[in-house]
Amino acid sequence: IAGFTIVVASVFALNQDNLKKRLAYSSIGQVSYILLGLAIGTYSGVLGGLMHLAHHALMKSCLFLCAGTILAKTGKRNISEMAGIGYKLPVTMICFTIAALAMMGTPPSVGFISKWLLGIGSLEAGNPWYIGILLLSALLNAAYFLPIIYTAFFKQPENKAHPKLQFNREANYTLLLPIATLAVLIILGGTLVTIPGFPYSLVSRGVALLFR
């Protein structure tokens, strides 16, 4: 059921032009990653599921904060209206891109760590077909996130000259600081995985106790 939900939620996300709705349907699929890891029931599967609980909080919080900043600064809600917005809000959209790539499972990011552990857990459970679900989901994630990035940075607004970088129109620091902090943590959490205090060091001990 979790695997089915991962795929179906991603398909629904593909059909949403409203950015927040696309992110919301994506969240349904991402929560199902957590349930899939718990349902697999192996050490790596449970660890991957619980790690994704923390990692998804970083990635999706960053994405939703970016969506809120876009709405606050431009009034735009729909992806089809966001051509060239990466030049108007460059820092916001760079952070959005980092979080979106992490959602696809791109290394080095927290999203890659979660999906890698879930894949290992699938092999430990003797159910390698779960890896197929993870790969299909990664492709679907790419299908609904990459067009947003393309629209923001590579699509020219109709009847307008190619936009120029406008850092002066960027959001104020009270909006940018949490977004940038989350984007940095997404990368640090994927590269410095075993640092004390990071999710892995906290979750792995608890999962190890379960499997004694």
pLDDT for the residue 44 = 95
Cα–Cα nearest to 48, from 152, 101, 123: 123
**Residues 34-44 pLDDT 10s:** 999 999 999 99
Single pTM value for the model: 0.93
Q: Give the phi and the psi of residue 18 in degrees, each rounded to 5.
A: -70, 125
pLDDT 10s per residue in the chain (212 long)? Answer: 999 999 999 999 999 999 999 999 999 999 999 999 999 999 999 999 999 999 999 999 999 999 999 999 999 999 999 998 999 899 999 999 999 999 999 999 999 999 999 999 999 999 999 999 999 999 999 999 999 999 999 988 776 666 677 767 776 888 899 999 999 999 999 999 988 888 888 899 999 998 88
SS3 62: helix
| Alpha-carbon gap, residue 78 to 114, rounded angstroms | 30
Query: What are the distances in angstroms from CA 145 to CA 17, 46, 55, 126, 182?
Result: 11, 27, 17, 31, 18
pLDDT of residue 159: 67
**For position 161, what pLDDT does the model report?**
64
Q: Six-digit token pair at 211?
A: 């499997």
